[in-house]
Amino acid sequence: MDLEQTFTHDWRFFNHTRFGREYSALQSFAFDDTLCLSAGNDGSYAIRAWVHQDTVVLGTQDSRLPYIQDGLSYLAPIYQTIVRNSGGLAVMLDEGVLNLSLIFQESKGWSINAGYDLMVELIRSMFPAFREKIEAREIVGSYCPGSYDLSINNQKFAGISQRRTRGGVAVQIYLCVTGSGSDRAEVIRQFYEEALKDGEARYEVPEIRPETMASLEELTGEALTVPGVLDLALHAMEQLGATINLSEPTEDEQQVFEQQLKRVTERHVRCLTP
């Protein structure tokens, strides 16, 4: 599969970075599922950018920790907590974290790794001066560790996940653009400490070492902003052959979104109900 050829299409661009504090991460996951369904049906391509205020996104396994209610109580004074419907474990979202989703139709021969590689190519193209320094490998000690953690000098600044729905693929990344990566990691470390205590989990809870994480601003030494990095993403897409068209959901997509939001919300509530 030619990764660069995948970019050479018309891409619908949904800019959800300016939505306010009332915009929930549950809405984001429902919207990505909506676009996945569209892509599966009509072969469309979409890139969506989103930012959320002070939110901890848990994986399904996290919601089953023995003292999860204590963990939620620890987060509650500052952070909204939701359980996402894609893979992975707990991550931190705030105004310094840019999320990008690449959404397209799953084609024959398209592997899971190809989806990850597509996103890695985009991020490396966004930062050509650091292209050779950006590594895709697991960073032990980070939160939500995985084989496609993105790092510079052994410090993670991004994680990638995938969601596949009825023929559509959403490759999602969170980019820690500004702020302190280690401070974010410390919050997640404390959450796990409260939610696990001396109990047992059915999965390997990451032992988080905050020093393994950093923001792009910290790693590059450049004065970055979330809007600026979004501009870098769009420019890199165009350089890779994409045509970007600012878009809004159709009436049909809006109806599907409402259905998807109901579904992901009900799932979230079930996961966190004692």
Is 271 marked active-site? no
Torsion of CA 108, 48, 62, 180, to 10 degrees: 130
Q: What is the DSSP string of 44-111?
A: -EEEEEE--SSEEEEPTTGGG-TTHHHHHHHHTTT-EEEE-SSS---EEE-TTEEEEEEEEE--TT--
Q: Helix, strand or coil for residue 156?
A: strand
Within 193-242, strands assigned E span none
pLDDT of 56 above 80: yes
Once rounded to an integer, what is the mean pLDDT over residues 152-158? Answer: 98
Range with the lowest mean pLDDT among 124-138, 142-156, 162-176? 162-176
**What's residue 274's pLDDT?**
81
Average pLDDT over residues 218-232: 97
Work out the average pLDDT over 227-256.
Answer: 97
Average pLDDT of 215-241? 97
> Which pLDDT tens digit goes with each residue over 87-107?
789 999 999 999 999 999 988
Q: What is the pLDDT of residue 2?
A: 62
What pLDDT score does 263 carry? 96
**Lowest-pLDDT choice from 78-82, 197-201, 213-217:** 197-201
- Sheet containing strand 91-93, edge to edge, reads 80-83, 55-58, 91-93
- In angstroms, what CA-CA distances link 119 with 52, 221, 239? 20, 23, 14
Check 36, 144, 176, 271 and give the catalytic one.
144
**pLDDT classification of 122: cutoffs 50, 70, 90:** very high
Question: Phi and psi dihedrals of 148, rounded to 5?
Answer: -115, 30
CA distance linking residue 35 with residue 61, whole number of Å: 26
Q: Is the pLDDT of residue 53 over 80?
A: yes
Gap between the terminal Cα atoms of the chain: 45
- Residue 150 phi/psi, 5-degree rounding, is -105, 130
Looking at residue 112, what is its pLDDT? Answer: 86
pTM: 0.95
Over 90: is that where the pLDDT of 113 sits?
no
Res 110: pLDDT = 76
pLDDT given at position 3: 65
Mean pLDDT computed over 15-37: 92
- 192 by Cβ neighbours in 10 Å (0-12 / 13-18 / 19+) ranks as buried
* Mean pLDDT of the residues in the chain: 94
Task: Choose the CATH number for 3-272 among 1.10.357.20, 3.40.640.10, 3.40.50.20, 3.30.930.10.
Answer: 3.30.930.10
Sorted by where each begins, the domain ranges of the chain are: 3-272
